[in-house]
Amino acid sequence: MTLEAGERVLVHARTADGGYVVATDRALRLPAGAPLPWYRIDRAVWDEEGLLVVGTDGTQRRVDLPDPGRLPEAVRERVTSSILASRHVRLGDRGGVRLVARRVPGQDAAEWEFVFDAGLDPADPGLRAAAEQALEELRRNLGV
């Protein structure tokens, strides 16, 4: 595994098949695939077998970790610290949307995302417009 210039390892854990999961100051590095920058991780779920990482794009990656050590705490802290704001807004009787602003290294502006409640179609133009309006109101209120 090759780190980027200036990237620091915070903690690591060995996988069941002998690889490593490494938490750095910039990303979570799993044995297969590209590093996952902290602002691209929606959540990480731990159980007795290991780690399930859910990306902000909905992709899921699972890795078996027999002894995660301090990795869960490091992942939780890094993902949480990437979030500037998170608010749930109702969009009607059927549900709502979570508006999330994330810190992106090297950028001044936050990156916003819409996380629609289960059962809502994010491609619905009416819902999308309502979510955009809610985002503008939230940005005005927060000054972001």
Structure tokens at 19: 């690889």
Instruction: Write out the residue range of the structural domain in which residue 114 sits.
Output: 83-142
3-class secondary structure per residue, 65-78: CCCCCCHHHHHHHH
Residues 65 and 114 occupy one common structural domain: no
- pLDDT band of residue 143 (cuts 50, 70, 90) is confident
- We report the CATH number of the domain holding residue 37 as 2.30.29
In a domain, 68, yes or no: yes
Tally the domains of the chain.
2
Q: How far is CA 140 from the centre of its chain?
A: 24
Residues 75 and 14 occupy one common structural domain: yes
Residues 66 and 103 occupy one common structural domain: no
In a domain, 118, yes or no: yes
List pLDDT tens digits, range 91-104.
Answer: 988 899 999 999 99
In a domain, 44, yes or no: yes
List pLDDT tens digits, range 37-79.
Answer: 999 999 999 988 899 999 988 899 999 999 999 999 999 999 9
